[in-house]
Amino acid sequence: MSERVPDVEIGPATQADGTAVVALWRAAGLTRPWNDPDRDFADALVTATSTVLVARGPGGIDGTAAGDDPAVVGSVMAGFDGHRGWLYYLAVAPEARGQGLGRELVVAAEAWLAGQGAPKVQLMVRRENADVQAFYAALGYEDADCVVLGRRF
Ligand SMILES: CC(C)(COP(=O)(O)OP(=O)(O)OC[C@H]1O[C@@H](n2cnc3c(N)ncnc32)[C@H](O)[C@@H]1OP(=O)(O)O)[C@@H](O)C(=O)NCCC(=O)NCCS
């Protein structure tokens, strides 16, 4: 198992974290032109059954924390739809990867969802990001053998 990252705390994001969190999502390759990440972040924070958890620590995506303030080095969005919990936007800053932080973020999001009453958790992996499935497999996630369909309103 990976070593715990020192000096990193995981907790709920505030609206003030939006710029740093969206920058992290962009650096992690999670944004797409058809989604507005600023709106996704803001919506998750004002919705009672969703949240964004952030990992704060030394570093940050540009390698420097501003002053003495810890930088955002990881994030995960979680939401409970009344039937199951979902995870989105899991990201660890490139220089902070491979130290167990991704696992800690998933575990923290699972705990948050369980606290909301969610009995199970799922997530979607883009086909072009299939390599990340090995990460989730290490955390006990299994292929749900589903095709995900969607439509814009
Ligand atoms: C996926 C991501 C969050 C993993 O973060 P991380 O902090 O490097 O992961 P961890 O160090 O917590 O790894 C946890 C376990 O998964 C394994 N793992 C991590 N990345 C892996 C990979 N690419 N392939 C195989 N195993 C991997 C680790 O070996 C570790 O196993 P261990 O605990 O038995 O040692 C990070 O690589 C990232 O931000 N990627 C870009 C964004 C992304 O793809 N997000 C997911 C969208 S669905």
Q: Which of 30, 75, 132, 141 to mutate to test the pocket of ligand 1 (most atoms within 8 A of CB)?
A: 132
30's CB contacts (< 8 A; 6+ apart) are 37, 89, 91
Q: Over pLDDT 70: what percentage of the chain?
A: 89
Report the C-alpha gap between 39 and 41 in whole angstroms.
Answer: 5
- The CB of 132 under 6 Å from ligand 1? The reply is yes
Domain membership flag for residue 94: yes
Domain with 117 in it:
9-138
Q: How many domains does the chain have?
A: 1
- pLDDT value at 113 more than 60: yes
Domain membership flag for residue 2: no
Question: What does pLDDT average to over the chain?
Answer: 92
Domain membership flag for residue 143: no
Atom of ligand 1 nearest to the CA of 101: 7
- DSSP string over 56-69: EES--TTS--STTS
Report the C-alpha gap between 63 and 85 in whole angstroms.
Answer: 32
Given this model, what pLDDT does residue 3 score? 52
- pLDDT value at 148 more than 80: yes
- Give the pLDDT mean for 123-128: 96
Confidence grade of residue 60 (pLDDT, cut at 50, 70, 90): low
Kindly report the number of other CB atoms within 10 A of residue 20's CB atom.
Answer: 20
Domain membership flag for residue 124: yes
CATH number of the domain within which 80 lies: 3.40.630.30
- The model's pLDDT over 4-51, given as tens digits with 9 standing for 90+, comes to 667 899 999 999 999 999 999 999 999 999 999 999 999 999 999 999
